[in-house]
Structure 1
Amino acid sequence: MVISCGKDEEQTPVAGGPKMNSFSPLSGSVGTEIWITGQNFGATKADNIVKIGSTTAPITSASTTEIFVTVPEGATTGKVSVTVDGKTITGGTFTVLEETEKAGITLNKSTFDLFSLDSETITVTLTGNVSAEDIVWSSDDESVVIVDENGMITGVSEGSTLVTAFINEEVSTNCIVNVSHSVFAVGYEEINGIPVAKVWKNGVATNLTDGSSFGAATSIYVDGTDIYACGIVDKGLPAAVVWKNGDILYELTDGSKYANAQSINIYNGDVYVIGNEELGVDNISNATIWKNGDSFATLTDGLNVNERSSGEDIFVNETGIYAVGYEESELHINGTPKLWENSTQINLTDEAFHGRAYSVYAVGSDVYAAGYEENENGIWVAKYWENGEVTSLSDGLQNAEAQSIFVLGNDVYAAGSYYDGQGELQQAVVWKNGTPTNQAAMGSGASSVYVDGGDVYVGGLISEGELSKATVWKNGEAMNLELTEGAGSSVVFSIFIK
């Protein structure tokens, strides 16, 4: 826009000298270009002298009718004048504005490294007329990283993605966020003689119970950024509970009857738990499934209603709800292994010998279960069943059982223990497609297996004298777990990698 000088600011032209019609703009900071129009200007830049107040402005182009100059460093508000051949015309006032810093944003790092479910707030440095409230944060892949309105990033799962801080099309920046998986474990640790339910994340322990009474966490599942665990607390009698992010989410039972929670699984936001609940007569209990805190199913075939059954593990996917455990009978007081598909009971054996199923895993409608069955010599044989077809994992010469099963691609992993007799732990073992690998020295046991990529994680314990020590192995090497100095025995029952 061209704005003319006010008439009251014009100076009468000198005869034969330059005449100024207008200049534009009337204000600006250092570096602003000013366009001056008039007559009798010098035809070249060298023929003209232009000043703002007493400061000479550099000329960028000139003709007899217009001149372009740039506001120089050091210029202050003053009248614009043009001198040609010693004759000067002075126009209106040009206001020199304080230079505004260009808007910009920078981050304190170009790359962030996190573990899943860990958080860090990005520090920003802003320049120009912008504020933190102007920033719109976004993650290219929210399955890997989420970011809130304050720039706090949280790892969700293993991977890498970009996080962007956006103000406008000209002012934005981003950073790379690399997320490594976290190793979660649950169990208990005896402190002052009382078992305390615990969860470990990357080896760092958090108590789920306060140590005033018995507590133990038996299973863990991580869904998104939420950590779920189930287990047992003392309410006069053992009671089944679910924790979410360290706080009790559901009290599944009230402690008036014996109960426990053995395994937890999350599917489509629904929380499934399996365990046992006493029927109230003769200490008989039944395998029970809870869904979102409410009783969902009692697992029994109706043939042995006066005998005890136990639910040990649950797995839920798009094809159904799969559970395993065992059911006792007059013939087999220690039980025989059972699989339940959507509450329909399936016998895993012909029930000629006793046994138990401890773990279940499903890939689509293919169902895998792990446990043991006694042979004709009274030896426990570690086994897994794939769609009902049995595979023996141990040779039947010494007692063994498979406590956990995990399937990745075409590979079937099972974790368990060899025993000296039927109660004395001898050695923790992982079988991959039937081939055993010992995890530790004598006096160890394995209760849970999880495979992530090429890494095999196993949870369990190592015996140290009369005490047991909670342990997680990665590819056969024990990882560091935070344990209380001077505490008693501790155990890991379940692990999860996220």
Structure 2
Amino acid sequence: MKKFSIWAVAALSVCLFALSCGKDDSPDTPKTGDENPTITSFTPLSGTVGTLVTINGTNFDATKSKNTVKFGNVAASVTTASATKLVAEVPEGAETAKISVTVGGKTVTSSDSFTVTEDVPLTIALNEEAVTLYPYPKYTAMLEVTTDIGENTVAWSSSDETIATVDTDGVVTALKIGEAIITANAGGAEATCTVSVVDGPVTKLELDKEGMELYTGDTGELSIFALEADVEETSTPVWSSDNTDVATVDQEGNVTAVAEGEAVITVTVDNASATATVVVKTDVFPEGTDVYVAGNDGSKPVFWKNGEKTVLSEENGLARSVYVDGEDVYVVGQLNAHPALWKNGELTILAENSEYLENTAASVFVDNGGNVYVVGHEYRDPNLVALLWINGVEQVLESSQGYVAKYANSVQVLNGDVFIAGSSSENQVLKATLWTNGTPAILDAITTSHHTYAVFADGDNNVYVAGKGGNPGYAAYWNNGSMKFLPDPIFNGSAHSVYASNGNVYFAGYVDDGTFKPVLWKNNDAPQYLSDTFGRAEAVFVHNDKVYVAGIMSDNGYKPTLWIDGEKVFLPSDFEGYAYSVFVK
């Protein structure tokens, strides 16, 4: 029993000792209030007034107002507080000095000084100090800030937005001549650029023509002939018409004639403009009348009906004559150096004995019975041979004794008689020849050399032949075999076509007064000059008292041309071309 008591006392003593030790280690043990604050570090080590400095240490008060922080002798505002960290703002008036913290009347001072630095103001610069612009949308300037502005944004402004504007990206657009200051502002710092808006940049602008004549429904083309500027690339040309009721123009310079009148077409490139006057006339082709013209566009044989072109072949050739019988259109000429006939566009090669440049079918005529007569010539060694085809069947034209029939240029059939005009050769000298129903006759002539191009029988026992006499030749004609010169024989020339109507006889051809000029003779009157520039008249036709002439005229290249009562019409062509024949019905 005594032994049990000793062990019980010992166990109780151990428990009391453990309990006593546990109470001494409790966190709730009250502080004595004698602990001093400490500063272990601060960051940053330097900065400007207003910089937030974090102070690390111990025994700070968690209440901000119970901590006094000073930079040297200047008190600072505490923004954050805990027992181990304070955040204070570098105060105005602070200088480089140590940092002190006072808590509960106890002060600690840092071992290192905080360095107060100067507050460097923000500055900015632009990529351009001055730019020169032209007052058109194409010409802009891109301004950029070239210095580091941190997180600041740039605000752009113009001193005069009527002269130049600037967008939020710094793109400057000039509006009118003058000067404006563009300002960039970032964080209170500013930089400027002087924008000078001046006249220009085009110094020369010219069109390829000063004017043009069109007929209603026709189109023409204008283009810039000369453009000089102080820049490598100008703005896009802008085309306009001052009277769109008369003529319109697209932005490629293509002009469309709308109605009779006059319109001024203007092209503008920035500060410069050039104009061309367009005169629009009513449709030249009489209503109810169809006008056919045969010729070539470049190297292609074509014909035009009322000014609308039809290409007969994409191969090399030309169309020399056209005749319309009812609904059938006959065209003859040359294709790849062979005499050729097209009926309603369907090709027939009439002969293929050689490939000689002078090989051609020169004239076509359809009689009242529907028989198709074609004349021409082909080289058959050693000479050209004059030929006649009737409904495609070839005949070699007879030669007069001592002559070689070389050229057959025109055919007409009247009352069953077949008249063919051409030339024969005597010792290489050409002689005007008229075949009547296949029988050749060398026409009387005043000159040694003479040549014929066309024949026309008027039904009043008159057979007219048009051509030339002499070398290089004067325009001449024969009436029933008698030769006469057409006025004025002081000039070289030639008559290439003849047509008789209502007692008048018309001849078409040219005179050479230093330059070939297209002319029309009526009877024996002085010639009517159809143009004062280079040209030739090749064919004449009279219908309802209107006189139609086909030929060529020079106007920025050789153009196939039709004259109606002396008024010219340029037939549409893609290349230089020629009009050889005209037929009206």
Q: What runs of 5+ residues in structure 1 fail to find an aligned partner?
A: 1-177
Give the aligned partner of residue 426 of structure 2. 329
Alignment of 1:69-468 (within 5 A): 180-190=288-298, 195-210=299-314, 213-234=315-336, 238-248=337-347, 250-254=348-352, 256=354, 258=356, 259-267=359-367, 268-279=369-380, 281-282=381-382, 284-305=383-404, 309-330=406-427, 333-350=428-445, 352-364=447-459, 365-374=461-470, 378=471, 380-420=473-513, 425-435=515-525, 436-465=527-556, 467-468=557-558
- Cα deviation, 1:173-208, whole Å, max 9, x if unaligned, reads xxxxx9711110010011xxxx00001000000000
Q: Does the 8 Å CA contact 2:295/2:578 hold for their aligned counterparts?
A: yes
Q: After TM superposition, which residue ranges in structure 1, 4 or more long, deviate above 6 angstroms?
A: none
Q: Equivalents in 2 of 1:294, 1:316: separation in Å?
A: 17
Change (3 A) 1:290 1:426: same
Q: Deviation at 1:464?
A: 3.0
Q: Deviation at 1:380?
A: 2.0
Q: Equivalents in 2 of 1:428, 1:469: separation in Å?
A: 13
Q: Does the 8 Å CA contact 1:275/1:287 hold for their aligned counterparts?
A: yes
| Percent of residue pairs bearing the same amino acid type | 31
Q: Deviation at 1:261?
A: 0.4
Q: Equivalents in 2 of 1:463, 1:334: separation in Å?
A: 32
Q: Does the 8 Å CA contact 2:420/2:436 hold for their aligned counterparts?
A: yes
Report the aligned-residue RMSD.
1.9
Higher relative contact order (CA 8 A, sep 6+): 1
- Name the aligned partner's letter for residue 463 of structure 2: V
- Name the aligned partner's letter for residue 252 of structure 1: L
Q: Deviation at 1:255?
A: 5.2
Q: Equivalents in 2 of 1:351, 1:288: separation in Å?
A: 27
Q: Equivalents in 1 of 2:482, 2:520: separation in Å?
A: 20
Q: Deviation at 1:463?
A: 1.5
Residue 577 of structure 2 is aligned to residue 490 of structure 1: yes
Alignment of 1:464-475 (within 5 A): 464-465=555-556, 467-475=557-565
- Name the aligned partner's letter for residue 314 of structure 1: V
Q: Equivalents in 2 of 1:286, 1:448: separation in Å?
A: 24
How many aligned residue pairs are there? Answer: 295
Q: What runs of 5+ residues in structure 2 fail to find an aligned partner?
A: 1-285
Instruction: With the length of structure 2 as denominator, give the TM-score of the two structures.
Output: 0.49
Structure holding more strand per residue: 1
Change (3 A) 1:415 1:369: same
- Cα deviation, 1:420-454, whole Å, max 9, x if unaligned, reads 46xxx521111111112111122111000001122
Give the aligned partner of residue 481 of structure 1. 571
Change (3 A) 1:207 1:348: same
Q: Equivalents in 2 of 1:216, 1:381: separation in Å?
A: 26
Q: Does the 8 Å CA contact 2:476/2:484 hold for their aligned counterparts?
A: yes
Instruction: With the length of structure 1 as denominator, give the TM-score of the two structures.
Output: 0.57
Change (3 A) 1:429 1:351: closer
Q: Deviation at 1:309?
A: 1.2
